[in-house]
Amino acid sequence: MAQIKLIFVFLLYGKTFLVVNSVSNITPESITPCEDTDSVSLTTKGEGESKAWTGSVNVPFEIDPNTEFTMDFRWYKNDELEKNGKILKGKACYYIQKFAENIWKQIKKAANPPIDGECTVKSGKYEFVDFVPQLNNMFIPIGGTGKANAKITMTKDGKTFCAVVIADLNLRTNFEKCDIKGWTCNNSVEVAGKHDLTFRCNTTLTTQDVQIWLWQFASPATITSLTIENCERVELAFGCSAENKPIQWLKLRNIGTVDFLSVPLIHNPPMIIIQNVTNIETIRRDTFLQMKKTLYKPGCFIPITDLHSIVLKDVNIGRIETEAFKNITDMKKFEMENVKINRVEYGAIRLSFEPDVVGLVKNSNIGVMEPLAFQLVGDGFSMLNTKIDNMWGSSLNGTIYDFEFSNNSVSMIQAGAIALLAKNVYMNNNLFRDIESGAFRKISPGLLHDSQRNFGTLYFSYDFKNNLIEHVEDGGIRPDIEAYKNVATHINYTENVLQCSCEAVSWLGAEVDLGFGYSVLKDFNTMILDPSNKNTCNFNPCMCFGVRSPYKRSSATALVF
Ligand SMILES: *[C@@H]1O[C@H](CO)[C@@H](O)[C@H](O)[C@H]1NC(C)=O
Ligand SMILES: *[C@@H]1O[C@H](CO)[C@@H](O)[C@H](O)[C@H]1NC(C)=O
Ligand SMILES: *[C@@H]1O[C@H](CO)[C@@H](O)[C@H](O)[C@H]1NC(C)=O
Ligand SMILES: *[C@@H]1O[C@H](CO)[C@@H](O)[C@H](O)[C@H]1NC(C)=O
Ligand SMILES: *[C@@H]1O[C@H](CO)[C@@H](O)[C@H](O)[C@H]1NC(C)=O
Ligand SMILES: *[C@@H]1O[C@H](CO)[C@@H](O)[C@H](O)[C@H]1NC(C)=O
Ligand SMILES: *[C@@H]1O[C@H](CO)[C@@H](O)[C@H](O)[C@H]1NC(C)=O
């Protein structure tokens, strides 16, 4: 059994795991010899904490303080072993003494013959009968969760000891004291007498997996913020607790992978900043929400200040699920900068802002925006310098006083994609590759704070300038012109380049009965064609009228209201 524990010890304490201190829950599943060796022969009885081990361990050479080991550590992902292991090398003895004294004592006693040396194991066969290792409350310097496979090899004098350990690991990073084991505490910038805590994974490590339960790790009562940085993988759980922990903001910085764990009752800190994260596979439903709005919260401390700010910068995200940002109100800040998102699902981001706050998405890259991907209510929202592959109907929805959509490049914008009530609309310097019929038709004049403003003297504005349009279906480039006609509006429709025939786009001279509203349409078309507005048409008929986009499901007829 010495070897069993040695193996656990190696599994858990590579040379590289020195800095992080974690509390663990380890459930060993099996320990088997490598092919062509007879190093271990163990069977188990029982489950979980009472699992008992019986059998023998063959040590072919004396293990002494200088014996080195190699460990190939791999997580199981979807029941398959990771392709590339993490290779760790180190001296066995050192790790036993430093981290596993307690369990090592148990092993030495349980072995037959018993092991006497502090850290020397003579060669020979050690027997174990119904040995139940006490693995709880082990402090171990590694984080991570899941099923793991570790192959441990020791070689000496041409002889090899080799075994494979499979175990479930559930490890949490824990705070002990400032200035040790990766934690530093600085005086808070914001609150006198309080502390900003930073947990820094040792950047020389290759195997730093950290799991933090924000409201459940031991921390000083003076904590105001937590920063986690320079880690390979961080699993974060916002599960609520009964503790009143005054964390005002959480920052995740310079991290390979971040995974927000699903927990029953979420408590977000007021401000969350995520910066330079290579991969967030999924932001799941209910990741960001305001705790006070959840109905059932026994055992949770109800915060005075709820979540109000989210900043994402230099982050790659696979998918944002429905209700991932769940109807967050009174937001003080919402910013996405240089964020790449493959898919924003139906109803994923629903926010309303405090007065004067401008939500911002810039320099970003979004694949698909499903219907109601963004539902926004507030004084301002800007989407700038962003590349979007496909905007589905109503993918940008809400009521925004100042809406700015500039310097973007959109491959496909479907019917009704931007469905907004706005006082001021600025859409400048965009590239639209394919515009479906009615893409902008749900942009209407509207107000958030009607009661406070006087409609009589109020001007709405719609500024559509300097856009390049490659393909457009009939009626694709108009906002809700009937509604604009009914209120005082400044419309600027200038310096756009349409790589198609303007006649086709706007049906000047089309031999159809235009019916009710024709004069409004005519005014709009006249405005586009007015030479003083400097819109350019390339007279390329096949680029527009009559040509359906490949994304279009039905063969709708020309949209003429
Ligand atoms: C703590 O403060 C010191 C001195 O101002 C600074 O050098 C250090 O980077 C800070 N540590 C963290 C983790 O912010
Ligand atoms: C990182 O770990 C290495 C190896 O254990 C150690 O020598 C180094 O001092 C550590 N660096 C920091 C910043 O903790
Ligand atoms: C971003 O994080 C990675 C680690 O994930 C780090 O190697 C890199 O230096 C960080 N970049 C910046 C600009 O801090
Ligand atoms: C969103 O939150 C507001 C304010 O708490 C509430 O009035 C509204 O019903 C919520 N909407 C949805 C769809 O949950
Ligand atoms: C989108 O926003 C508008 C204006 O706020 C609203 O009337 C409409 O119901 C919303 N939903 C859809 C699906 O367009
Ligand atoms: C759009 O891009 C131009 C040229 O790169 C730049 O001058 C302008 O400030 C940008 N506008 C916005 C709103 O970012
Ligand atoms: C229309 O464009 C002109 C010239 O660029 C500008 O001065 C004016 O403010 C614009 N009007 C609106 C309503 O944006």
Residue nearest (by alpha carbon) to ligand 7 atom 8: 492
Residue nearest (by alpha carbon) to ligand 6 atom 4: 407
Q: Please give all residues whose beta carbon lies within 6 A of any atom in ligand 5, as ranges.
A: 394, 397-399, 419, 421
Cβ-Cβ contacts under 8 Å for 457 (sequence gap 6 or more) = none
Q: Please give all residues whose beta carbon lies within 6 A of any atom in ligand 2, as ranges.
A: 18-19, 202, 204
Cβ-Cβ contacts under 8 Å for 516 (sequence gap 6 or more) = 561
Q: Which of 175, 186, 194, 200 to mutate to test the pocket of ligand 1 (most atoms within 8 A of CB)?
A: 186
Residue 492: what residue type? Answer: N
**pLDDT attached to residue 96:** 66
Q: Please give all residues whose beta carbon lies within 6 A of any atom in ligand 3, as ranges.
A: 254-256, 276, 278
CB distance 428 to ligand 6 below 6 Å: no
**pLDDT attached to residue 171:** 59
Give the C-alpha separation, 368 to 365, whole Å.
10
* Coil vs helix vs strand at 152: strand
Residue matched to tokens 């961080």: 234
Q: Which of 425, 427, 463, 494 to mutate to test the pocket of ligand 7 (most atoms within 8 A of CB)?
A: 463
Residue 416: what residue type? Answer: G
* 3-state DSSP helix/strand/coil % of the chain, to nearest 5: 15, 45, 40
Concatenated DSSP letters of 475-496: TTT---HHHHHTS-EEEEEES-
Residue nearest (by alpha carbon) to ligand 1 atom 6: 186
**pLDDT attached to residue 371:** 97
**pLDDT attached to residue 35:** 83
Q: Which of 329, 375, 377 to mutate to test the pocket of ligand 4 (most atoms within 8 A of CB)?
A: 329
**Ordered mean pLDDT values, 10 residues apiece, the chain (561 residues):** 40 36 64 85 82 88 85 82 79 67 79 85 90 64 66 85 82 68 82 87 53 79 90 86 89 94 89 98 95 85 94 98 96 98 98 96 98 97 98 96 97 96 96 92 81 64 94 84 87 87 46 53 79 79 44 30 21
Q: Please give all residues whose beta carbon lies within 6 A of any atom in ligand 7, as ranges.
A: 461, 463, 490, 492
- Do 362 and 340 meet the contact criterion of CB atoms below 8 Å apart? no
What atom of ligand 7 comes closest to residue 494's alpha carbon?
Answer: 2
**pLDDT attached to residue 517:** 57
Cβ-Cβ contacts under 8 Å for 165 (sequence gap 6 or more) = 7, 8, 11, 28, 30, 31, 149, 150, 152
Q: Using omega within 30 degrees of 0 as the cis cutoff, is the peptide bond preceding 298 cis?
A: no
* Closest ligand relative to 465 C-alpha: 7
CB distance 294 to ligand 4 below 6 Å: no
**pLDDT attached to residue 215:** 86
- Do 230 and 257 meet the contact criterion of CB atoms below 8 Å apart? no
